[in-house]
Amino acid sequence: MNRFISTALSLAAVVAIAGCASPPPDLDLALTRPSVDRKYVVTLQPPAVPAAINQLHSWRVSLASPAGAPIAQARIRVDGGMPQHGHGLPTQPQVTQDLPDGSYLIEGLKFSMTGWWEIKLAIDGPGGADKVTFNTVVSAPGAGH
Amino acid sequence: MSRLHSRVWAPARIVAAGALLAMALAQAASPQPATTGERWSAEDLAVLASLSLKRLAPTPVDPSNAVERLPAAVDLGERLFNDARFSRNGAVSCASCHDPRKQFQDGLPVGQGVGTGSRRAMPIVGAAYSSWLFWDGRKDSLWAQALGPLEDAVEHGGNRTRHAQLVAEHYRKDYEALFGAMPRLDGLPRDAGPGGSAAEKAAWAALDARQRDGVSRVFSNMGKAIAAYEKSLQHAPSRLDRYIDAVVRSDPAARGLLQASELRGLRLFIGKAQCVSCHNGPLFTDQQFHNTGVPPLDAARPDRGRAAATAKVRGDEFNCLGPFSDARPTQCQELRFMVSDDAALEGAFKTPGLRGVAQRPPYMHAGQLGTLEQVVRHYVAAPHAVVGHSELTHRHAGASAPPHVERAPIELTAAEAADLVSFLGTLGSEQPSAPAGP
């Protein structure tokens, strides 16, 4: 009986939490996604070592046509934020280099806290303008997820 | 897909409960052992651990200040910090508004220097972890920040030429040991500076470029010494730190460290009161700028906060990219990637840290809220912002929560609000903040 009550209380506690406790359980974390109008296939590559909270760091992005041909010399703008908190990115990341392998270097990303962040790319390439949104969940160091 | 999930929180709690049931059962089945006297889920434990002072990263290096780690700079900086001669009336030092006996602040709504300021003096311990200094972040380093009040008409009311001459008169030997020979200051007017009275500005314009550079260089080095001192100040652990560290290692000593109301308040702080969404990490700040609809001091001329500051920091001669910085331009990434073109910056102010908060009323950027009870009521009331747009969600009386919002309203009973205030009292250092060493 006590376990039932404590379970019910735990459930009530979890349900009552309206803070930024958990990202949605079925969040799509794929790092390769088609853009919204399917003009491009976009791959986002995080840094090999996750950055610390509030540390400026870089990601890479590569573009391909739906047939898989790499696309260079596109213009990419970066936006995003934390949907559960209603705020944007704390910095203005930019594509600063077109890399030799055809990918693009995005510098100036920073996450100001743990949780669910969106990285939104606006792409202007040979196929025209399109957009794509990636989800990433920033976890605490040593969280062991 | 993400938009659908962000609307889950406010109206769909009952629907979500089914999905959360499995999660809750899993958490209930493996809670924190009762030896510590309180059940925390694995997820809560991770959040608690992230708040511990033990998790505070080593003090960041500021490449723009070459002397920041030198003990001699810390020593010189402390003396400059406490020297009231660096003011128009000889009575205002940094310590006047940043009193070491009061957590390096003054307990007043706005600073009182030679005149009356427009914003609250901020505490200094931990400021080294901020990329942007002041409530609006208009300075990008600790040393550049220190120079602001020294030349501000209502704070110290001084000017850099007079300050440089005072350094030559009273601190030459220690200055030169750190920074090399002082420039020639003979023949300079007593008072001259780019931001003072008309006479001071005229006197400054009448100097040649070499003289101006020499004076500005001494002035910038004053800031660098002061910054070295400020950076040496460290938080001492709080009772909350002792509790968190004990809970994380399942130590029964945790039991009894926090009172029942403080524990309830902690649960609210990391839960439905949503405080931890901005007041996070070991310093209880995300170091970012937010508009929470704090009523302006002067509704006729509301403070635009960050929105008005990005142009100032970009144009500051003492910023990371300027001629007095010791950094290479490639090390000035914060400036390079600074957000400056965003409506969210209107009326946005830097999240202050909360260590020691209960002992330093009043609160907000112009001391508008006199007690922590008023602060909590503010977050629950979530008033519309006078300038810009508040990130808080306002729930109109009698209405259900607005559907198309990303953040649920903060809803607390009077008892819960009291618990939250009670918890905030556990964040004080148990010893006075002090420099790390001689």
Q: In sequence order, what DSSP letters do the residues of B316-377 get, joined into one string?
A: -TTSTTSTT--S-GGG-HHHHT---S-GGGTTBEEPPP-TTGGGS-SBSTT--B-SHHHHHH
A 35-54 residues inside an 8 A Cβ radius of B: 52-54
A14 vs A36 pLDDT, higher one: A36
CB–CB of B2 and A110 under 8 A? no
Question: What average pLDDT does range B226-237 have in this prediction?
Answer: 97
| CATH 3.40.47.10 correct for B2-59+235-435 | no
pLDDT in tens, B96-139: 999 999 999 999 999 999 999 999 999 999 999 999 999 999 99
Is residue B362 reached through a cis peptide bond, with omega within 30 degrees of 0 on the bond before it? yes
Helix (H, G, I), strand (E, B) or coil at B71: helix
For residues B312-321, average pLDDT: 98
Question: In A1-145, where does DSSP find H-type helix?
Answer: 2-16
Once rounded to an integer, what is the mean pLDDT over residues B367-373? Answer: 98
Q: Select the residue from B3, B4, B6 to test the A interface by mutation, using most A Cβ atoms within 10 A.
A: B6
Helix/strand/coil percentages in chain A, nearest 5: 10, 40, 50
pLDDT of residue A139: 86
Look at residue B432 in the predicted model and tell me its pLDDT. Answer: 66
Q: What is the pTM of this model?
A: 0.88
Chain B residues within an 8 Å CB radius of A84: 6, 9, 277, 406-407
Distance of CA B134 to the CA centre of its chain: 7
| Mean pLDDT score across all residues of chain B | 91
Helix (H) or strand (E) segment spanning residue A129: strand A128-138
- Domain residue spans in chain B? 2-59+235-435, 71-234
Is the Cβ–Cβ distance between B261 and B422 less than 8 Å?
A: yes
Average pLDDT over residues B181-205: 95
B16 touches chain A (CB under 8 A): yes
pLDDT at B91 over 70: yes
CA distance A111 to A82: 10
**Per-residue burial over B244-257, b = 16 or more CB atoms within 10 Å of its CB, e = otherwise:** bbbbbeeeeebeeb
In the three-class reduction of DSSP (H, G, I as helix; E, B as strand; rest coil), residue A138 is classed as strand
Query: pLDDT above 90 covers what percent of chain B?
Result: 83
Does residue A57 surpass a pLDDT of 70? yes
Average pLDDT score, chain A: 85
Report CB contact under 8 Å: A21, B43: yes
pLDDT of residue B401: 53
pLDDT of B377 higher than 80: yes
Q: pLDDT value at position A102?
A: 82
The answer to which of A9-18, B246-255, B375-384 has the lowest mean pLDDT is A9-18
Nearest-by-Cβ selection for A88 from B129, B276, B344: B344
Residue B262: closest CA among B431, B43, B416: B416
Identify the residue with better confidence: A15 or A98. Answer: A98
- A91 CA to chain B: closest CA distance, Å? 5
Pick the more confident residue, A10 or B156: B156
Q: What is the pLDDT of residue B368?
A: 98
In CATH terms, the fold of domain B71-234 is Cytochrome Bc1 Complex; Chain D, domain 2 (1.10.760)
Q: Which of A6, A28, A58, A85 has the highest number of chain B CBs within 10 A, making it the mutation to test binding with B? A: A85
- Closest among B272, B246, B260, B213 to B13, alpha carbons compared: B272
Q: What is the average per-residue pLDDT within A17-35?
A: 80
Across residues B417-422, what is the average pLDDT? 98
Crossing angle (nearest 10°) for helices B42-51 and B239-248:
140
| Residue A73: C-alpha distances to residues A41, A101, B227 (Å) | 15, 12, 44
Paired residues of A61 in beta bridges:
A44, A104
pLDDT over 80 (residue B386)? yes
Q: What is the DSSP letter of B99?
A: B
Q: What is the pLDDT of residue A24?
A: 86
CATH number of A23-138: 2.60.40.1940
Which residue type, as a one-letter code, is found at position B167?
A: V
For the stretch B23-68, pLDDT in tens is 555 444 445 445 566 789 999 999 999 999 999 999 999 999 999 9
- Residue B181: is it exposed, middle or buried by C-beta count within 10 angstroms (0-12/13-18/19+)? exposed
With cut-offs at 50, 70 and 90, classify the pLDDT of residue A101.
Answer: confident
Q: Is the pLDDT of residue B177 over 70?
A: yes
Give the pLDDT confidence score for residue A10 in this predicted structure.
Answer: 43
The H or E element spanning position B166 is: helix B160-179
Task: Assess B5–A contact: CB distance below 8 Å, yes or no.
Answer: yes
Residue-level pLDDT at A120: 98
pLDDT above 80 for B274: yes
Q: Which residues of A touch B24 (CB under 8 A)?
A: 7, 10-11, 13-15
CA distance readout (Å), B171 to B146, B180, B222, B324: 18, 13, 10, 20
Q: Phi, psi at residue B265, to the nearest 5°? A: -65, -40
B2-59+235-435 shares its CATH topology with B71-234:
yes
Query: Is the Cβ of A108 closer than 8 Å to some Cβ of chain B?
Result: yes
Query: Which of B27-41, B137-151, B398-412 has the highest average model confidence (pLDDT)?
Result: B137-151
Residues 6-25 of A with CB under 8 A from B: 6-7, 10-11, 13-22, 24-25
Per-residue pLDDT for A15 more than 80?
no
- Residues of chain A with Cβ-Cβ distance to B270 below 8 Å are 19, 21
> Residue A23: what pLDDT?
83
**Which residues 6+ apart lie within 8 Å of B254 measured at CB?**
B36, B37, B38, B243, B246, B247
Q: Give pLDDT, residue A39.
A: 96
Confidence of residue B430 (pLDDT cuts 50, 70, 90): confident
Q: Across residues A139-144, what is the average pLDDT?
A: 59
Residue A114 contacts B, CB cutoff 8 Å? yes
The whole-angstrom separation of Cα B247 and Cα B253 is 8
Amino acid at B186: D
Q: Are strands A75-82 and A57-64 parallel, antiparallel or unpaired?
A: unpaired
pLDDT of amino acid A25: 86
Cβ within 8 Å of residue B184, ≥6 positions away: B214
Q: What residues in B contact A21, CB-CB < 8 Å?
A: 43, 47, 270-271
Percent of chain B's residues with pLDDT above 70:
88
d(CA B205, CA B213): 12
Residue B81: name the closest of B65, B67, B99 by CA: B99
The answer to whether the CB of B296 falls within 8 A of the CB of B303 is yes
Residues of chain A contacting residue B3, judged by C-beta atoms under 8 Å apart: 83
